A and B are shown apart, each in its own frame.
Chain A
Amino acid sequence: MTQHLYPPGALVGDYVRGGIGFALMVLPLALLELNTVVAVVFACLAVMFALHLLRTVQRQVTVVEAGGDGIVARGPLGTAIRWDRLAGMRLKYFSTRRDRQQGWMTLTLRGDGRKLSLESSLTGFDAIAERSAAVARTNGVELDETTLNNLSALGIDPGEAANADDSAADDDWIAVAKAARDRAKDGA
């Protein structure tokens, strides 16, 4: 069983951004008689920044435990997914910069109707992603092109992960290509 946390230092930026955004939206609402349309837009954005702040707090107090049976997020809105019930995995990369540098990743796991989202600021994120990819392969979970590409960027062999497609999507070209490769290997 391994424990993973969001280091407070990694969350400072989110607190600052959420705080500034919330203040910039709420202050005009409180101090000025805004036009109705502008007020609605500002209110929506204020709610969004408030949710972002709450989500940051939730991440700070959440402890993620990954073990042989599954993965558990302990804390507010915590959830648990058993590895043998893992039915979906998506690894996304986001960046707000034009050159798409200095971004972050989000790993979303699904199983038993539950969803668990983890961000790359979590300690040991790479290990969890690797473990999830291996489980997804075992469970025959189909991984999309984006996830395969992002796994590869983390140094996790996407070819291995893509083998999971064989049983789930036999009409997909990836499955066709992998099956052909495996047959060639067997023949050799």
Chain B
Amino acid sequence: MLAYIARRIIVMIPTVLAISAISFVIIQLPPGDYLTTYINELQSRGENVDASQIEFLRQTYGLDKNLVEQYFFWLGNALRGDFGYSFEYSMPVTDVVGDRMFLTILVTFATTIFIWLVSFPIGIYSATHQYSIGDYTLTFIGFLGLATPNFLLALVLLYFANVQFGTSIGGLMDPQYIDQPMSWGKFLSVLEHLWVPVIVIGTSGTAAMIRRLRANLLDELQKQYYVTARAKGLPARRALFKYPLRMALNPFIADIGSLLPQLISGATIVSVVLNLPTTGPLLLSALQSQDMYLAGSFVFWLAGLTVVGVLLSDLALAALDPRIRLGGGAVK
């Protein structure tokens, strides 16, 4: 396993560097930079622009350097924990992200648990009761979940939560707790607001997971080893849990790979609609305003977390199911 981890991580390092470099170039592709945008904004409002001050800022943040130098300047600082300065918020990137990261992790974690808890039993039921009324009903609900736009469901649930439970519109807590230190009341307020984004974000994920689990499990249930086991009299539940279900669980494990990047970018539009204090809207705003260090940091984290997520799921799959696949070949 040590050899596998070492080889896997060696593959990962150039991938992270390549993705971050490409992302940095993409961010730089639009003409001008944040300072240019800032100057245009001031000029459109009829305000004076101090050319020497702009030049000073340009030199301080290395905007006068070429692209390669800017990239390595930014990457070197990132390893020191300094992700640069957000021009839009006039503060360090790490301070801008701040508490939003914790709340984003909370929403993502709760959503993932919701998706697994709902899709796991439904997926098993649909596969083991294929073409039954229950299967058709759950499949219909699943497709409904896939087809309903998240932002629309968000608006409906916001209205429902406000009318039925008196929950304040938008956000992840009542207004009086915003920017306040964590307390029991704030925690309860977060819990009170959490279910709306969890259901909204989780609905499409749940529907997709149900379909994948159902399809995978149906594949396994057709295989000879399961048919033989049932034919020899092994009880259905024992035969199901012994092997087919384990094999069908691979998508759940593989899903870890896409889970981590969602911590940063997941459900940006829903977060905007629900006014959630998560990192998604911050990323969107940074990209719109060409706040290059903030946007660059987000893209770098996205790339890093994607690769780390895939690494974790690969390690879990290698530990749980180290089988050779038909058509694959071991080399000496």
Binding site for B on A (CB under 8 A): 10, 14, 17-18, 20-21, 24, 28, 32-38, 45, 48-49, 51-52, 55, 92-96, 99-106, 119-121, 125, 145-146, 149-150, 153-154, 172-173, 176-177, 180
Residue pair A24, B13 in contact (C-beta under 8 Å): yes
B80, B229, B328, B332: most-surrounded residue (chain A CB, <10 A): B332
Q: Is the interface of A mostly helix, strand, loop or mixed?
A: helix
What B residues does A37 contact at CB under 8 A?
81
Residue pair B5, A48 in contact (C-beta under 8 Å): yes
A28-B79, A35-B79, A100-B328 as given contacts; A92 in contact with B2, CB under 8 Å: no
Q: Which residues of B161-202 have CB atoms within 8 Å of chain A's CB atoms?
A: none
Residue pair B3, A55 in contact (C-beta under 8 Å): yes
A17-B10, A35-B79, A96-B11 as given contacts; A121 in contact with B234, CB under 8 Å: no
- The 8 A-B residue pairs whose C-beta atoms are closest, nearest first, are A35-B81, A92-B322, A173-B229, A93-B324, A52-B6, A153-B324, A94-B4, A173-B234
Q: Does B45 contact A (CB under 8 A)?
A: no
What A residues does B11 contact at CB under 8 A?
96
A24-B13, A121-B332, A177-B232 as given contacts; A18 in contact with B324, CB under 8 Å: no
* Identity of the chain A residue whose Cβ is nearest the Cβ of B321 in the assembled complex: A146
What B residues does A35 contact at CB under 8 A?
79-81
Residue pair B5, A101 in contact (C-beta under 8 Å): no
Contact of A14 among B1, B3, B332 (CB under 8 A): B3
Minimum CB–CB distance for A148 against chain B, Å = 9
What B residues does A32 contact at CB under 8 A?
76, 79-80
Binding site for A on B (CB under 8 A): 1-11, 13, 76, 79-81, 225, 228-229, 232-234, 238-239, 242-243, 314, 318, 321-325, 328-332
A102, A103, A104, A153: most-surrounded residue (chain B CB, <10 A): A103
What B residues does A103 contact at CB under 8 A?
324, 328-331
A48-B5, A48-B6 as given contacts; A153 in contact with B79, CB under 8 Å: no
* Identity of the chain A residue whose Cβ is nearest the Cβ of B239 in the assembled complex: A173
Residue pair B332, A120 in contact (C-beta under 8 Å): yes
Residue pair A34, B330 in contact (C-beta under 8 Å): no
Can you list 14 contacts pairing A with B, beta carbon distance less than 8 Å?
A34-B79, A38-B79, A48-B2, A48-B6, A94-B4, A94-B318, A103-B329, A103-B331, A104-B330, A120-B332, A145-B323, A146-B321, A149-B324, A176-B234
Minimum CB–CB distance for A101 against chain B, Å = 5
Residue pair B229, A18 in contact (C-beta under 8 Å): no
Residue pair A93, B232 in contact (C-beta under 8 Å): no
Minimum CB–CB distance for B157 against chain A, Å = 37
Minimum CB–CB distance for B37 against chain A, Å = 30
What B residues does A48 contact at CB under 8 A?
2, 5-6, 9
Q: How far is the CA of A37 from the CA of B8 in the complex (A)?
A: 21
* Identity of the chain B residue whose Cβ is nearest the Cβ of A172 in the assembled complex: B242
What B residues does A38 contact at CB under 8 A?
79-81
Minimum CB–CB distance for B20 against chain A, Å = 14
Contact of B9 among A21, A33, A121, A125 (CB under 8 A): A21
Residue pair A55, B2 in contact (C-beta under 8 Å): yes
Minimum CB–CB distance for A25 against chain B, Å = 9
Minimum CB–CB distance for B17 against chain A, Å = 10
Residue pair A176, B232 in contact (C-beta under 8 Å): yes
What B residues does A10 contact at CB under 8 A?
332
A10-B332, A145-B243 as given contacts; A49 in contact with B6, CB under 8 Å: yes
Minimum CB–CB distance for B177 against chain A, Å = 28
